[in-house]
Amino acid sequence: MFHKVKRIAALASIACATTFAASHRNGPLLLEDQTANLNDLYVFRSYEQGRSDRVVMSMSVQGFQNPDNGPSYYKFSDSVLYRFNVNNARGLDGNADLQVDFVFKTELRPNPTFVSYFGAMKGIDDPGIFLYQTYVIVIRNLKTGQGTYISTDANGRALSVAPPNLGPKSTPEYEKNFGAPSVFTLANGMKVFAGPRDDAFYFDSGATFDTLNFRAPAPILTGAADTAPGVVGPVDGFAGYNISLIALEVPINFLTADASVPTDPKALNAKVGVWASTHRQVVTVRPSPSDPIHYGNYVQVDRVGNPLTVEALIPLPMKDFWNRSDPANDQQFARFIGDPFFASGILGGVFGLKVPPAPRNDILGVFVPDITRIDLTIAPTAMGNQNRLGPLAGDTAGWPFGGRRPIDDVVDIGFRALGGVLVPGFGVAPNTQLGDGVNANDVPLMNRFPFHPAPHAGFKHSGAEGTNGKGMVTGQ
């Protein structure tokens, strides 16, 4: 029954246009504003040795970065406010109780060259870094009105953005000399990082967008195709690309309403919700040839909570409106989320699967409001024991109940959830075997903060080397 695409080809075309039009391109307007375009949000209890009492929150922006995109490499926008939102009260209603903002400033250091970085650089303070970015962190407790501004680490050094990975001559031993030194410990004990990283998201996007032209063994994974790590035949469309990552590690009690460390999963403070958002000032004036000037209050231009929401559940004409709206108002999208076209139109209509009827309360319970929920009482799973399918495979520390980790195969989990595996009577094959065949990131993940691997090098990366989406370790 998984070979009925031809009989409903028109329906499949509509499905692709409306449900997977985003995937790192979160709406038509954001195609014109990539520095504010959020890709993924990760929230999880740290599995770094000795730091399980911490929670990591990270957001990736500006996806599909070509590593050799010189002479002007990717950067954070000085006119975008990047925000982590934390909801820890009122039964998680989608209203923020805490906000952590990252605001960037770019300094173009005087130099006679035409490039942003030059020479054999030795570290993050090298004078060859001509495009130098720093940032300020603003922590706001919306219940008390208290605000904290942080611009330096515990030693008084300015918080700076890691430079790009140009290659072995310009940025030798990248992670040792540039990546790791860009992890800063703040005076309050938190850790932060901002800079380029490998994109840890993995998905055979090319096959999906070619009108569900899945590569074998997808879309039904059996045996080793479901259990073996890595790319089993299909292609990781995100292999070899970088993203800009903002990562923050905080104590568990920073996130809870009463500053406690909950141990009882039934406790009011056991669960919190997190989402990321980007904001711009409401007015921009461009007095060319002078630089743009920005005025007024900040307004939201993008947000991300759970993976796949805007990609798979929100119709194309409503994506931009959804990006600008708040999670607290997500009930207005319930008619789409509670009766997802991907389930009824594709899994049911195209492939003939038996899926649960609407309203899909199992889906609504995760995506309305659209915040990534994390049960703070769930202990982290050691990296070597993590399962890409998270709770569907007994690893409760993964998405959607234990937050979201870089290893979590949110595409396969999402496909199966839409197929109804969490609904009694529908958690059977082939619903429990759906997947795209890409079972791991193209390069190994890190077991320490910020967990995303080092960025691919401009001098040598999978796109330039023709590895067809398989990814490669550059040695940098």
Q: What is the mean pLDDT of residues 438-456?
A: 95
Q: Say if residue 7's pLDDT is above 70.
A: no
DSSP state of 428: S
Contact predicate 37/300, CB 8 Å: no
Alpha helices in 8-84 (DSSP H): 9-19
The reported pLDDT for the residue numbered 460 is 82
What's the whole-number mean pLDDT along residues 39-43?
A: 97
DSSP per position, 55-124: EEEEEEEEEEE-TT--SS-----TT-EEEEEEE-STTT-S--SEEEEEEEEEEE---SSSSSB-S---ST
Q: What is the CA radius of gyration of the chain?
A: 22
β-strands 191-198, 184-185: how paired?
antiparallel
* Band of pLDDT at residue 3, cut at 50, 70 and 90: very low
| Predicted confidence (pLDDT) per residue in 142-165, tens digit | 999 999 999 999 999 999 999 999
What are the CA-CA distances from residue 465 to residues 100, 145, 346, 458, 459 (Å)?
39, 52, 36, 11, 10
Whether 52 contacts 381, CB under 8 Å: no
Provide long-range contacts, Cβ within 8 A and 24+ apart, for 380-386.
380/44, 380/45, 380/46, 380/47, 380/52, 381/47, 382/47, 383/47, 383/407, 383/445, 383/447, 386/47
Q: Is the dihedral of CA 387, 439, 355, 328 positive or negative?
A: positive
Predicted pLDDT at 382: 98
Complete DSSP assignment for 296-355: EEEEEEEEESSTTHHHHTS-GGGHHHHHHS-GGGGGGGHHHHSS-HIIIIIIITTT----
CB 204 within 8 A of CB 412: no
Q: Are 261 and 272 in contact (CB under 8 A)?
A: no
**pLDDT at res. 261:** 97
For tokens 């850790």, the residue is 191
* Contact yes or no for 215/22 (Cβ under 8 A): no
Residue 7 backbone dihedrals phi, psi, to 5 degrees:
-75, -15
- Per-residue pLDDT at 19 exceeds 90: no
Distance CA 56, CA 447 (A): 12
Q: CA distances (Å), 387 to each of 249, 271, 308, 397, 405, in order?
A: 22, 22, 19, 9, 10
Mean pLDDT computed over every residue of the chain: 91
Cβ(437)–Cβ(234) under 8 Å?
yes
Contacts of 465 (CB under 8 A, 6+ apart): 472
Going by pLDDT thresholds of 50, 70 and 90, the confidence category of residue 21 is very low
Chain segment 225-251, per-residue pLDDT in tens:
998 876 556 888 899 999 999 999 999
Lowest mean pLDDT, pick from 225-234, 247-256, 337-346: 225-234
Q: What is the pLDDT confidence band of residue 209, given thresholds at 50, 70 and 90?
A: confident
What is d(CA 335, CA 360) in angstroms, rounded to the nearest whole number?
10
Strand-pairing partners, residue 105, are 134
The DSSP annotation for 230-252 comes to SBSSS--TTTT-EEEEEEEEEEH
Res. 2: pLDDT tops 50: no
Q: What's the average model confidence in pLDDT over 437-444?
A: 92
pLDDT at site 466: 55
Q: Is the model's pLDDT at 26 over the cut of 90?
A: no
pLDDT, one tens digit per residue, over 383-414 is 999 999 999 999 999 999 999 999 999 999 99
For 74-93, what is each residue's pLDDT tens digit? 999 999 999 999 999 999 99
Q: Dig out the tokens for 209 from the structure.
A: 């967008």
Structure tokens at 59: 């957001």
467 vs 234, which has greater pLDDT?
234
Sign of the four-CA dihedral 93, 378, 302, 202: negative
One-letter amino acid at 99 equals: Q
* Rounded Cα distance, 17 and 19, in Å: 6
Q: Given this model, what pLDDT does residue 471 score?
A: 52
Q: Which two tokens stand for residue 1?
A: 């029954």
